[in-house]
Amino acid sequence: MKCRHCNTELRNVFTDLVYSPVSNAMLSREQLNGPESYYPLKIFVCDNCYLVQVDEMEKADKIFDEEYTYFSSFSKSWLQHAKDYVEMMIEKFGFDEKSLVLEIASNDGYLLQYFNEHNVPVLGVDPTANTAREAEKKGVRTIVDFFGSKLAKEYLLENGKLFDHHFNIILCMLK
C-alpha cells in the first residue's frame, strides 16, 4: 500500500482497530437478519509526509451516498463550537460580503450557516445529497460532489464570477 499523498510505501502501523463496518452505514430493520460487511481498520502513518490514512477497502461514493446518516447539526455542542469558530475566524481574518468561504465536506450547513448570518458569502461542497438538501434549506449553496481537481476545474476555475470575490478558502476538516 502506498501513501495517497506522496506515494511512499507505507510500513508503519499507527494503530490497528481490527475490523469495523463502514462508519454511518446504519442497517435497516430488514437488513438486520442479513450479513454485514466488516473491513480491516488498520491505520498507517507515512514515513515521508506523516499523513495518517487507512487502506481503501470501499470506494468513497459507496460510503458517502444519498443515505448518509450523519448530520453534523444533530449535536448542539458541535453547533455552538461552529458558531464560536465562525466568530473567531471573522474577527481574525476580517471576512465580509466580498469574501467567499468554501467548505469541503460541508455536510448539512452546520458551519456555513453562521457565516451567512454575518453576510459572508459561502459555498459548500459535499457528496451526500441528503445532507446537502438540509444545507440548502438553511440558505447554504452546496455542490453535491467530491472535492477534487475535476470539480475544481469544472465548477470553480471555470466560473470566473467566484473570483470576483476576494477568494478565501477555509478547509474545514474538523469532523
d(CA 146, CA 105): 8
Is the four-CA dihedral 79, 85, 96, 145 of positive or negative sign?
negative
Per-residue b or e along 49-84, where b marks 16 or more CB atoms closer than 10 Å to that residue's CB: eeeeeeeeeeeeeeebeeebeebbbeeeeebeebee
The yes or no reply on residue 10 touching Zn ion (CB under 5 A) is no
Q: Which stretch binds Zn ion (CB under 5 A): 5-13, 83-91, 112-120, 157-165?
A: 5-13
CB nearer to Zn ion: pick between 46 and 101:
46
Nearest residue to 107 (alpha-carbon basis) of 129, 88, 85: 129
The yes or no reply on residue 12 touching Zn ion (CB under 5 A) is no
The yes or no reply on residue 3 touching Zn ion (CB under 5 A) is yes
The yes or no reply on residue 6 touching Zn ion (CB under 5 A) is yes
CB nearer to Zn ion: pick between 46 and 122:
46
Q: Which residues pair with 143 in a beta bridge?
A: 125
The yes or no reply on residue 5 touching Zn ion (CB under 5 A) is yes
Contact set for Zn ion, span 46-65 (CB under 5 A) = 46, 48-49, 51
The yes or no reply on residue 132 touching Zn ion (CB under 5 A) is no
The three cell numbers of residue 62 are 459507496
Contact between 148 and 120 (Cβ < 8 Å): no
Q: Which stretch binds Zn ion (CB under 5 A): 22-30, 42-50, 97-105, 160-168?
A: 42-50
* Interface residues toward Zn ion, by CB under 5 A: 3, 5-6, 8, 46, 48-49, 51
